[in-house]
Chain A
Amino acid sequence: MTNSPWLAHYPSDVPHQLPAAAFANLPELLRSSASQYKKQIAFTQVMPNGMNGSLTYAEVDRLSDHFAAYLREDLGLAAGDRVAVQVPNCLSFPILAFGIFKAGCVLVNTNPLYTANEMIHQFSDSGAKTLVVIDMFADRLPAVLASTSIENVVTVKISEFFPTMVGGVIRGVQKFWSKTIPKIEVKHTKFSAAISSGKAKYQENKVSGYITGLNSETLAALQYTGGTTGVSKGAMLSHGNLVANTLQMIAHCGSGMRAGKETVLTALPLYHVFAFTVNLLGFYYNGARNILVPSPRPPGNLRRAFDNYKITWLSGVNTLFNALLNERWFQDAPPKYLHASAAGGMALQASVATRWRELTGTPIVEGYGLTESSPVLTFNPLTGTAKDGTVGIPVPSTELKCVDENGNEVPVGQPGEIIARGPQVMLGYWHRPDESAKSLQNGWLHTGDVASMDADGYFTIVDRTHDMILVNGFNVYPNEIEEQIAAVPGVLEVGVIGVPDEQTGERVQAYIKASVPAPSPAEVTAYCRTNLSAYKIPQDIIFVDELPKSPIGKILRRTLRDEATASRSAKSDANKGA
C-alpha cells in the first residue's frame, strides 16, 4: 500500500483490511444473514397513509429461491442472462434482486420513471431478455418491446405481499380512484403467478446448483451511469465487488451499526447504486429492518414511516435531508430513536449537516463513491473523528490518491483527480472496451472528480473535472460557490455553471430557486463578496422556478449549460434578425 495516512485515523473498531473473501458470491452472503435472522422482519413497505406489509428474513429467502427457480426453470434463463428490474421501492424488490443473483443471472437496475427512449437504450445495450416491471408504468411497453430483445415480461403490483384486505384496498384505490393502473397490452406474467410457478418447480439442490461457478469475478449487476456526461453506460459490478462493498461499508461503521438491531428508512430508490448497496445489501446483511417507502415525493409521504416505526438509521442525499428539515412535522417531532445518518450521492451542504445535527442530535456523515465503485469509496468515520465538509477517509481495503494530469500524486492539500483501487472497483463498462480502458488504468479507477487530501488522509471533493470554470486562468469550482449561495437566507437551491465570456474566458453564472420573498441579486452578491475572491463572484444571477435534477436530486449543471447555450444562440439569432 502506498501512502495511506488515513489508517492512523481509523477508529479502534474498524479493521484496516477486510478479511479474505468471506463469501464467494452474493447468494452466500444473503443466505448467511437469512439463516441468522430467520424470524426477524427484514422489510416493511410503508405507504403514505400508513398501510404496510412486511416480510421476514426467512420469507425473503424462500420467495427469492422461488423466483430464481422461475427464472431458470420456467423462463429457461441461463447463468449470465440479464434481467432488467424496473420497480420502485417495495417488498418485491429484494425478492427480485436476490432471486436474480441466486439464479446466477445479472440484475439490470432500471429507473421506473425512464422514458421509452431511455428504456430502449438500457434494455438494448444490456441485451436483457427478461423485464420485471411495476404495472403502473407498463403502458410504455408496446413502444419499448418492439425495439429491444425482451421476450419475457413479469408485472409487479405495488401492494405485493401486503395483508389481503389492505392490499385489496390499495389495489381498489389505484384502479378506481387514482386510476394509475393502465391496461397492459403486451403478453405478461403476474409476479404472483411467477412465484407460485417457481415454488412448484423449486428443488433445493437445483437452486444451489445455479450458483456453482459463481465467483467473485462473475458479473452480478449492470448498473447504468453517465446521466450527467452523456450516453448511459453499464458499469459491470461483480459478485466480488458487491460483497466487498457491503462488508466494507459495514466494517467502516464499526459499532455505529448494531447487528440485528437497526431500523433503516429507505427513502432513496433501490435501483440507484447508493441505496442498493448501502440499504438493500448492507442493512440486510446486518440484520436490520428495512422500511421501504415507494416514493418520498412529497416529503410528507415519509411522515407515517417516521410516526409508526422507530427509525434508527437514515441514508439519503442532500436534497432529502434538506427537504425533511423544511417539513414542519419533522421539525416538530424529529425522530427520537435515530442513531446516525449517512449522506452520499451529492455534496452534503454544511448548512444542512449542521441543521440536521442540531435538530436530531445525531451524527450525519458524508461519504463518496461512484457507480463504478459499487459505490462506496470513502466515508467519514462514525465512531472516530468526522471532518465536516470532507467525504472522510477510504473504507477498509481501499486506496485513494489525488493525481495531476500526468498521473503523479499531488502534494497534500493540493487538488488533483481522484483515482481509486480496491475490491469494489468495477470490472469495466459493458461492451465498451475503450471507455473501460480510459477509466481503469493499471487497476486504478479514474473518477473524473477533483479532490484534495489533507495530512490525516481525509478527502475533500472540489468538483467534477468537467464542471470546473476557468475565469482569467483561475480554477473556479462551482461547489464552493453553491455552498456560499445556499447559505443566503431565502435560497432554496442553487446551481452554478461557467459561461463563455469575451474578457475573462468564462464567467460564473448562478441559477437560484428561492422562497418568497426571494433575496435580491445584490444581497446574494454581497454575501458572496464577504466569503469569496472577486473572480469567483457570480456575474449573472438568474432566478428560476425549478432547477434541472437527476433522479436522485443532483442538480444537473450540464442541463444548465445546455440551456445557457440555447438561450445565447436564441439571443444572437434574435440580434441577427433585428
Chain B
Amino acid sequence: MRTLRILSEEIANEATVVNEFEQTLLRIFILVIMFGLGAGLTPKDFSLAIRRPWGLVIGWLTQFGIMPLTAYLLIVTVLFPFSNGGDVMLIALGALIMGSVPAGTTSNLFTYFSKGNVALSVTMTINSTLWAFIMTPAALLIYSRLLGLDESLQIEFGELAIVIVGLIIPVALGMLVRKFSSNIGALLELFGSVVGLLFIPFLIAIWVPRNWELLLTTQWPTYVVAIGMGLVGITVAYYLSKLLRLHPMNARTIALETGINNGPLAIAVIVAVYIENPGVDKILLVPALYSLFIVIISTLVTLVFRRANLAAEQKIPNLL
C-alpha cells in the first residue's frame, strides 16, 4: 500500500518518475498479496498471536528500540566520520526517520515466504503502526537531540490510518473467503504468493533504472547506513528472540518485522514535511536506498530462513 507512495511521492524528488500505470499496478499487487495472505489465516491464528503476547512485546521493543538506535549508531560511527562533505546532516535526518517509522506490509509477505507466523506479523504491523503516533516522534526527538539536529516531526493520522485500513480490509476479506470456501481461499493464497514473487523483481525493476544515477553518486557511508539498518535490525531482533527462547518461527517473524520498516511511509512523511526544503532529496536519500536494499536483503534472509525451517521440520517415515 505504502510502497506505491514511495514512488508516487518520489516524483517530488524528481529523481524518479512513476507513471499512473505502475502505481495502479503496485496498488493492485499489494491488495492481491494481502488478500492472499488473509486467505491463509483463520481467526484462531490471530487469537493465538494475542494470547501469547510475548512476541508482540518483544517486537515492539525491537521495532522502536533497536531500529532507531541502529540508525543513530550507524550515523555516529560511519556516516559522520567517513562522509566527504555533502549535507551529512540532511542524510542523517532521513536515516533517523527511516529508523523510526513502523513496520510495513512488505514484512508480512516475506514472513509468509519464510514460513513464519503470518498472523503474528500482521498483528505486529498493526501494533507498531498504531504505536507510531507516539513512538516515531518520540524516537526522532530523542535521537535528533543527541545528534544536534533541531528537528521534530509529526506523523499525520491519515498516513497511519491508511496503512492500517489497507492492511486490515484485504486480510479480513481473505479470511472471510476462506471460511466461505476453502478451495477459493487456497486458490487466492496461491495466486497472492505468485504475485508476491513477481512483486519483488518488479519493485527492483522500476526502482533501478530511475535511480541508477543515485546509486553511482552516493558515498559509501550512506550505503552502509541504508543497508546496515535492515541487516542489523533483522540480526539483532532474531538473536534477541532466540535468546528469549521464542519459538523459531516467531523469532524469524520478529526479525523480519523489525528489520523491514515502512519505507514508503518514511518517504511520504518526509515529502509532506520537507517538500519546501531545498535539501529534500538529501533527506530522501537513505529511505530511497533502504527501500531498494531491504527487498534484496529480505529475499536473501528469507532463503536462509526457509532452509532453517525445512531443517526443523519433523521427519516422519513414509506413510504414503
A298 near B319 with CB under 8 A, answer no
B contact residues around A546 at 8 Å (CB): 315
- Nearest chain B CB to A293 CB, angstrom units: 9
* 0/1 string, A81-104, CB within 8 A of B gives 1: 000000010000000000000000
- Contact (A551, B316) CB under 8 Å given A51-B187, A163-B183: no
Q: Which A289-344 residues have a C-beta within 8 angstroms of B?
A: 294-300, 304, 307-308, 319-320, 323, 326-328, 332-333
**Chain B interface (Cβ < 8 Å from any Cβ of A):** 42, 44, 48, 178, 182-183, 185-187, 189-190, 247, 249, 313-320
**Chain A interface (Cβ < 8 Å from any Cβ of B):** 47, 49-52, 88, 112-113, 163, 165-166, 169, 173, 267-269, 294-300, 304, 307-308, 319-320, 323, 326-328, 332-333, 546, 549-553
Instruction: Name A53's closest neighbour in chain B (CB-CB).
Output: B183
- 27 sampled A-B residue pairs with Cβ under 8 A: A50-B178, A50-B186, A52-B182, A52-B186, A165-B187, A166-B187, A269-B320, A294-B320, A298-B313, A300-B313, A304-B182, A307-B42, A307-B44, A308-B182, A319-B316, A319-B317, A326-B314, A327-B314, A328-B249, A332-B48, A546-B315, A549-B317, A551-B317, A551-B319, A552-B319, A553-B316, A553-B319
A contact residues around B314 at 8 Å (CB): 298-299, 323, 326-327
Compute how far the CA of A546 lies from the CA of B183 in the bound complex, rounded to whole angstroms.
36
B42, B178, B249, B319 pick with most chain A CB within 10 angstroms: B319
B contact residues around A294 at 8 Å (CB): 320
6 tightest A-B contacts by CB? Answer: A549-B317, A50-B186, A553-B317, A51-B186, A298-B313, A295-B320
B317 near A49 with CB under 8 A, answer no
Compute how far the CA of A294 lies from the CA of B320 in the bound complex, rounded to whole angstroms.
7
Grouping DSSP codes into helix (H, G, I), strand (E, B) and loop, the A interface class, with mixed when no group exceeds half, is loop
B42 near A267 with CB under 8 A, answer no
B contact residues around A51 at 8 Å (CB): 182-183, 186-187
A contact residues around B318 at 8 Å (CB): 113, 297, 549, 551
A328 near B247 with CB under 8 A, answer yes
Compute how far the CA of A169 lies from the CA of B188 in the bound complex, rounded to whole angstroms.
11
B contact residues around A163 at 8 Å (CB): 183
B44, B183, B247, B249 pick with most chain A CB within 10 angstroms: B183
A contact residues around B190 at 8 Å (CB): 49, 169, 173
Known contacts A51-B183, A296-B319, A551-B320; can you find 8 more A-B pairs with CB under 8 A?
Answer: A50-B178, A50-B182, A52-B186, A169-B187, A297-B319, A298-B314, A319-B319, A553-B319
Compute how far the CA of A313 lies from the CA of B316 in the bound complex, rounded to whole angstroms.
21
Compute how far the CA of A219 lies from the CA of B316 in the bound complex, rounded to whole angstroms.
34
Compute how far the CA of A298 lies from the CA of B313 in the bound complex, rounded to whole angstroms.
7
Instruction: Name B183's closest neighbour in chain A (CB-CB).
Output: A166
A267 near B319 with CB under 8 A, answer yes
A269, A294, A304, A552 pick with most chain B CB within 10 angstroms: A304
Compute how far the CA of A154 lies from the CA of B242 in the bound complex, rounded to whole angstroms.
52
- Contact (A296, B316) CB under 8 Å given A49-B189, A307-B42, A333-B48: yes
A contact residues around B313 at 8 Å (CB): 298, 300
Compute how far the CA of A307 lies from the CA of B48 in the bound complex, rounded to whole angstroms.
14
- Nearest chain B CB to A45 CB, angstrom units: 11
Compute how far the CA of A410 lies from the CA of B30 in the bound complex, rounded to whole angstroms.
73
- Nearest chain B CB to A215 CB, angstrom units: 34
- Nearest chain A CB to B119 CB, angstrom units: 11
Compute how far the CA of A184 lies from the CA of B271 in the bound complex, rounded to whole angstroms.
61
Compute how far the CA of A49 lies from the CA of B185 in the bound complex, rounded to whole angstroms.
9
- Nearest chain A CB to B176 CB, angstrom units: 14
A50 near B185 with CB under 8 A, answer yes
B contact residues around A52 at 8 Å (CB): 182-183, 186
B contact residues around A166 at 8 Å (CB): 183, 186-187
A contact residues around B319 at 8 Å (CB): 267-269, 295-297, 319-320, 551-553
- Nearest chain B CB to A207 CB, angstrom units: 32
- Nearest chain B CB to A314 CB, angstrom units: 13
Instruction: Name A336's closest neighbour in chain B (CB-CB).
Output: B44
Compute how far the CA of A299 lies from the CA of B314 in the bound complex, rounded to whole angstroms.
7
- Contact (A88, B320) CB under 8 Å given A50-B186, A323-B314: yes
B42, B185, B247, B314 pick with most chain A CB within 10 angstroms: B314
- Nearest chain B CB to A486 CB, angstrom units: 15
A320 near B316 with CB under 8 A, answer yes
A contact residues around B249 at 8 Å (CB): 328
B316 near A113 with CB under 8 A, answer no
- Nearest chain A CB to B131 CB, angstrom units: 26
Compute how far the CA of A326 lies from the CA of B182 in the bound complex, rounded to whole angstroms.
26
A contact residues around B42 at 8 Å (CB): 307
Compute how far the CA of A332 lies from the CA of B42 in the bound complex, rounded to whole angstroms.
13
A contact residues around B186 at 8 Å (CB): 47, 49-52, 166, 304
- Nearest chain A CB to B30 CB, angstrom units: 22
Compute how far the CA of A546 lies from the CA of B316 in the bound complex, rounded to whole angstroms.
10
- Nearest chain A CB to B55 CB, angstrom units: 13
A298 near B316 with CB under 8 A, answer yes
B contact residues around A269 at 8 Å (CB): 319-320
B contact residues around A113 at 8 Å (CB): 318, 320
Compute how far the CA of A551 lies from the CA of B319 in the bound complex, rounded to whole angstroms.
6
- Nearest chain B CB to A358 CB, angstrom units: 19
- Nearest chain B CB to A46 CB, angstrom units: 8
Instruction: Name A328's closest neighbour in chain B (CB-CB).
Output: B247
Instruction: Name B189's closest neighbour in chain A (CB-CB).
Output: A49
B249, B313, B315, B317 pick with most chain A CB within 10 angstroms: B317
Compute how far the CA of A441 lies from the CA of B183 in the bound complex, rounded to whole angstroms.
53
A112, A295, A319, A332 pick with most chain B CB within 10 angstroms: A332
Compute how far the CA of A329 lies from the CA of B186 in the bound complex, rounded to whole angstroms.
19
- Nearest chain A CB to B114 CB, angstrom units: 14
Compute how far the CA of A552 lies from the CA of B318 in the bound complex, rounded to whole angstroms.
7
Compute how far the CA of A49 lies from the CA of B186 in the bound complex, rounded to whole angstroms.
6
B contact residues around A552 at 8 Å (CB): 317, 319
A297 near B316 with CB under 8 A, answer yes
Compute how far the CA of A549 lies from the CA of B317 in the bound complex, rounded to whole angstroms.
6
- Contact (A297, B187) CB under 8 Å given A326-B314, A327-B314, A333-B44: no
- Nearest chain A CB to B311 CB, angstrom units: 11
Compute how far the CA of A117 lies from the CA of B186 in the bound complex, rounded to whole angstroms.
38
- Nearest chain A CB to B33 CB, angstrom units: 16
A299 near B316 with CB under 8 A, answer yes
Compute how far the CA of A551 lies from the CA of B316 in the bound complex, rounded to whole angstroms.
10
Instruction: Name B51's closest neighbour in chain A (CB-CB).
Output: A332
Compute how far the CA of A516 lies from the CA of B17 in the bound complex, rounded to whole angstroms.
53
B contact residues around A308 at 8 Å (CB): 182
Compute how far the CA of A326 lies from the CA of B316 in the bound complex, rounded to whole angstroms.
11
Compute how far the CA of A299 lies from the CA of B318 in the bound complex, rounded to whole angstroms.
11
- Nearest chain A CB to B129 CB, angstrom units: 25
- Nearest chain B CB to A174 CB, angstrom units: 13
B48 near A297 with CB under 8 A, answer no
A contact residues around B189 at 8 Å (CB): 49-50
Instruction: Name A163's closest neighbour in chain B (CB-CB).
Output: B183
A contact residues around B320 at 8 Å (CB): 88, 112-113, 269, 294-295, 297, 551
- Nearest chain B CB to A320 CB, angstrom units: 7
- Nearest chain B CB to A315 CB, angstrom units: 12
B contact residues around A296 at 8 Å (CB): 316, 319
Compute how far the CA of A333 lies from the CA of B52 in the bound complex, rounded to whole angstroms.
13
Compute how far the CA of A253 lies from the CA of B268 in the bound complex, rounded to whole angstroms.
66
B contact residues around A297 at 8 Å (CB): 316-320
A169, A267, A294 pick with most chain B CB within 10 angstroms: A169
